[in-house]
Amino acid sequence: MNRKVSFFIILLFVAGVITASLPLLAGADNPSTPAAAAPTNDPSGSLTGTVKDITAKEAGKPVLEEIAEAVGHNKISINIVWTLITGYLVMFMQLGFALVETGFTRAKNAAHTMLMNMSVYFIGLLGFWICGFAFMFGGVGQVANLGMVANLNNEVTWNLFGKDFGIIGYKGFFLSGDSYDVAVFTLFLFQMVFMDTTATIPTGAMAERWKFLAFCVYGFFISMLIYPIYGNWVWGGGWLSQLGTNFGLGHGAVDFAGSGVVHMVGGVTALAGAIVLGPRLGKYKKDGTPNAIPGHHIPMGIAGALILAFGWFGFNPGSTLAGTDLRIAVIAVNTMLASAGGAMSAMLYMWFRFGKPDPTMTVNGLLAGLVAITAPCAFVNAPIAVLIGLIAGVLVVWSVLFIDGVLKVDDPVGAISVHGACGAWGVLALGLFADGTYGDKWNTVEGTVTGLFYGDGGQLLAQVISIIVNFVFVFVAAYLTFKLIDVIIGNRVPAEVEMGGLDVPETGVLAYPDFILAKSDRKETANGELG
C-alpha cells in the first residue's frame, strides 16, 4: 500500500478514537451529572442483572413462586452449561489421543493413524446416536442434576432370585420422540464424547498394521454395542449398579467418571484387538525378545499428553453433571494431583532402572495417573489422590514391560497398560480409599460412598465384581467382534503394505512427502527379523 494512504488511514483512526472518547473524558471531569438519573451504562458490572430480570407478572415485583422459579431455572442452567462446556473439553481430548498415537508411531503410517483418530469421532458419534445412547441410558430415568423433563424409563430387566436386574436400556433411539429434550441432548453430548474416548483407545494399540475398512466396522460395533452395554450396567441403572440395592454391596459398582466404563473397556478392547491382529513386523526377534520401534515425533506425543491432561478437567469435574455441585473443586485438584504422581513415579522409575527419563513412558505415567483417578476422583482426599497416581505410574511401566515382553502382545503406544491396567486400578482404588465424605444416596443407597480402609468392605467387593465382569464381558465381546471382522474383511494389511507404510496404500497420501529417509532407516523383513 502507498505510504501516504496508510498514514492517512492511521490519522483517521486516531481522530476517530479521540472523538469517541471525548464524551467519556468530559463525563469524568463533570461531577454535576445528577445522581438520581437512570444509568446509561454499567462499566463496573454491578448494575447488570437485577430484579427486573426475573420474569414476573408485575415487572420488578416478583412473588416468592416467581423467584423460586427463576432460582430453579438458574440452577439447572448452570448445570447444563457446565455439562456442555466440560463435554466440549472432553471432545478436545480426541486431538490429544490423535497426537499421542501418531507421535509414538512411525512417520510412514502417520496419515493413517491420524485419520483413524479423526474418523472414530464421527463414526462413533453416528453409532451412538443410532442406538448406543438408547442402549446405555434408555433406562436411566430422569437425570435430576439436569432437571430432566423427559423420562428415559425403559430398562429391560431380568428377574432373578426375585430381584430385577437391568440388562440394557431401550429408549432414545436417534434422539427422537420423547428424547427431543434439552436435558437429554445435554446428556447425549457429554456421554457421546466419553464413548469416543473408549473407541479411540484401541486405535493406538492396533496402529501401523490395521486395515482402515476393518477399523471403520469396529467403530460401529464399539459405539453401538460393546461400550453401551457395559456402560448401562454401571451408569445406566443396570445390574452392576444394583449390587448395592440388591445384595447390600456398598453402593453397587461405583465409577465416578469412567476408569472402568470408559478406560478399562477401551484398554480391554485394545488387548483383544492387538491379540487378533498380531505384532507389527519386526517387533519380535526370532527368539521372541521384543525390539523397540521408536515413535517418529516425540514432541507431538508430549503435546497430545498435555491436551489430554487439559481435557481431563472436563472429563472428571464434568461428571458431576452439575456446576452447582461444588465438589468439582476437589475433583479437579485430585485429578491434577494424581497426574503429577503418575508422571513423577513413571519418570523416576525409568530413570533409575534404564538410565534415562524416557519421554514416552513419562507421558504414559501422566496418563496412567489420570486414568486411575477417574473413578475415585470424587471420593478420595488429596494425599490419597497422589498415592493413587504414584502407584499408577509404576504399574503402567510394569504393565508395558509385561505385555510387550511376556504376553508378547504388541501395543505401540501402551494403550492397554495406560487404560486397561490403570483403569482397573482406579476402580479398585475407589473400593479401598473412598473416604465417606461424598456420594450420599449414590445408586439409591443411603449414606456416603466408603471404601475398605474407611470401613466398607462391601464397596470393595462391588468394585472387584465390576472389574471382573468388565474384563470378561468386554474381552469376549471385542474378541468375537474382531474375529468376525477378520473372517469377513480381514483385519491386517498385507506385509508389503506394512513394510512400505500404510499411508499411500490405505489413504492415498503421504503424511510427510518430503521426508523419505525417515521411513526407511530401519530395515524390516517379513520374518520379523531386523536387518
Q: Which is nearer to other proteins, 152 or 293 (CB)?
A: 293
Q: Which is nearer to other proteins, 226 or 293 (CB)?
A: 293
The answer to whether 321 and 187 have CB atoms below 8 angstroms apart is yes
Q: Which is nearer to other proteins, 282 or 423 (CB)?
A: 282
Q: Which three cell numbers stand for residue 173?
A: 433411539
118, burial (CB in 10 Å: exposed 0-12, middle 13-18, buried 19+)? middle
DSSP bridge pairs for 290: 284
Q: Among 389, 380, 377, which residue's Cα sits nearest to residue 418?
A: 389
| Rounded-to-integer distance, Cα 256 and Cα 108, Å | 39
CB of 409 to other proteins, least distance (A): 14
- ∠ at Cα 87 (137, 467), nearest 5°? 55
Q: Among 143, 132, 155, which residue's Cα sits nearest to residue 181?
A: 143
The answer to whether 165 and 239 have CB atoms below 8 angstroms apart is yes
Q: Which is nearer to other proteins, 199 or 361 (CB)?
A: 361
Beta pairing, strands 163-169 & 155-160? antiparallel
Q: Which is nearer to other proteins, 230 or 349 (CB)?
A: 349
Q: Which is nearer to other proteins, 364 or 450 (CB)?
A: 364
Q: How far from each other are the two terminal CA atoms of the chain, in whole angstroms?
A: 60
Q: How far is C-alpha 416 from the chain's CA centre?
A: 15
146, burial (CB in 10 Å: exposed 0-12, middle 13-18, buried 19+)? buried
CB of 420 to other proteins, least distance (A): 17
Q: How far is C-alpha 120 from the chain's CA centre?
A: 13
CB of 349 to other proteins, least distance (A): 10
CB of 517 to other proteins, least distance (A): 6
| Rounded-to-integer distance, Cα 362 and Cα 344, Å | 8
Q: Which three cell numbers stand for residue 120?
A: 472414530
CB of 509 to other proteins, least distance (A): 25
What does the binding site for other proteins look like in residue numbers (CB under 8 A)?
290-294, 350, 353-356, 358, 360-361, 397, 400-401, 404-405, 414, 517, 521-523, 530
CB of 410 to other proteins, least distance (A): 11
Q: Which is nearer to other proteins, 367 or 384 (CB)?
A: 367
Ordered alpha helix ranges (H), 170-211: 182-205
CB of 294 to other proteins, least distance (A): 5
324, burial (CB in 10 Å: exposed 0-12, middle 13-18, buried 19+)? middle
Q: Which is nearer to other proteins, 107 or 184 (CB)?
A: 107
Q: Which is nearer to other proteins, 162 or 355 (CB)?
A: 355
CB of 361 to other proteins, least distance (A): 6
Q: Which is nearer to other proteins, 158 or 354 (CB)?
A: 354
Q: Which is nearer to other proteins, 103 or 458 (CB)?
A: 103
Beta-carbon contacts of residue 11 (< 8 Å; ≥ 6 apart): none
Q: Which is nearer to other proteins, 198 or 417 (CB)?
A: 417
Q: Which is nearer to other proteins, 281 or 400 (CB)?
A: 400
CB of 411 to other proteins, least distance (A): 10
CB of 46 to other proteins, least distance (A): 57
Helices then strands, counting H and E runs in the chain, come out as 18, 2
Q: Among 358, 456, 464, which residue's Cα sits nearest to residue 104?
A: 358
Q: Among 194, 111, 203, which residue's Cα sits nearest to residue 415?
A: 203
Read off the amino acid at residue 27.
G
CB of 497 to other proteins, least distance (A): 23
CB of 104 to other proteins, least distance (A): 9
**Gyration radius (Cα) of the chain, Å:** 27
CB of 288 to other proteins, least distance (A): 13
| Rounded-to-integer distance, Cα 217 and Cα 116, Å | 12
Task: Indicate the helix (H) or strand (E) that contains 373.
Answer: helix 359-374
Three-state SS for 29? helix
- ∠ at Cα 226 (397, 205), nearest 5°? 30
